[in-house]
Amino acid sequence: MATEQPQMSPEEMSAWVREQFQAANKYLAENGIISDRVLTKDSRYLAPYVAIWKFTTQDKKELWLINGDVPTDVAGKNAADNARDVLRYFSFQWQMKAQAILDDPKASTDPEQQRYAHYLVERAEALYDVVGMEDLWTAPEEQGNS
């Protein structure tokens, strides 16, 4: 996952966001979670790399979902207060999952598990880089006041 945003037309951007939103809802449904609505003020995306969605579910719970050029993953609303912190959370979780795979003697002989662990580490490091990019997280009204 690169951290520079390629130039996308508004139509391409809209299509990518729509595709990720549909994939997020499909993932939730496949896992027995029915979304009620997406909280757009809390959701963020860096197309075509990562989307962070905050959903409410039909049973009135809130959760975070991440997808895009990263593993699709879900966390409860208590994992983070905002999209930036949830990226940090997923980065840390993926590092821990990768380490658990790498420490597992059975996985050490499985090339597929090794590839997955390295994939998790790559994506975790890329997310952590995005967390550190201050200009991505400064609200437009704050940019004018700096």
- pLDDT in the model for residue 139: 66
Neighbours of 117 (CB within 10 A): 22
pLDDT band at 4 (very low <50, low <70, confident <90, very high): low
Q: 7: pLDDT confidence band, cut at 50, 70 and 90?
A: confident
- Give per-residue pLDDT as tens, 27-54: 999 999 999 999 999 999 999 999 999 9
Which value, in Å, is the radius of gyration of the alpha carbons in the chain?
Answer: 16
Q: Give the CB-side neighbour count of residue 121, counting CA atoms within 13 A.
A: 11
Q: How does pLDDT run across 75-85, given as a tens digit for each residue?
A: 999 999 999 99
Higher pLDDT, 46 or 143: 46
pLDDT category, 1, cuts 50, 70, 90? low
| Residue 99, CB-side half-sphere exposure with 13 Å CA sphere | 7
> 90-125 pLDDT, tens per residue?
999 999 999 999 999 988 889 999 999 999 999 999
Closest to 56 measured CA to CA, from 84, 93, 28, 87: 28
